[in-house]
Amino acid sequence: MLAPRKVKHRKQQKGRMKGVATRGNEVSFGHFGLKAMEPGWISSRQIEAVRVAIARKVRKHGKMWIRIFPDKPITKKPAETRMGKGKGAPEYWVAVVKPGRVLFEVEVPDMETAKDAFSTAAHKLPIKTKVVSRREVGA
């Protein structure tokens, strides 16, 4: 699963997810992309599940790119622990996603393969998504 090798701070505050994505909101590498329609946290386990699902569908027909990385630590306190005594230890990592962000991209011969792969992938994500295609420059 994805996780940073080294971070400046071990623990982070929750933060806010208001606004829309201004970076990473266009298909840059492949022909088709899976775009987020609502804000949310996507865990490294979910990213891995989607990667496997897309890889199974695309396999020999094309390439895949992961456009998000889980760099935010989420902490949890142990079960049945009293309040206080500080913040819990980091449990897992998430990628903060805003609406408009392209999460995954594929380069496949036809739109049907991409739609099939992304529909399977969308079931593994906690947010609404849609399939987008690349806008050709000068078209």
User: Per-domain residue ranges for the chain?
Assistant: 32-76+88-133
Mean pLDDT of the chain: 94
| The pLDDT value given to residue 139 | 47
Q: Residue 132: which pLDDT band, with cuts at 50, 70 and 90? A: very high
pLDDT band for position 24 (cuts 50, 70, 90): very high
Measured distance CA(127)–CA(117) in Å, rounded: 16
103 is written with which tokens? 């999460």
Check whether 119 has a pLDDT greater than 80: yes
This prediction's pTM: 0.93
pLDDT in tens, 29-43: 999 999 999 999 999
**134 C-beta neighbours (distance < 10 Å), count:** 16
State the DSSP H helix or E strand holding residue 35, giving kind and residue range, or none if neither.
strand 32-36
Above 90 in pLDDT, residue 126?
yes
Nearest Cα to Cα of residue 120 among 60, 54, 68, 63: 54
CATH classification code of 32-76+88-133: 3.90.1170.10
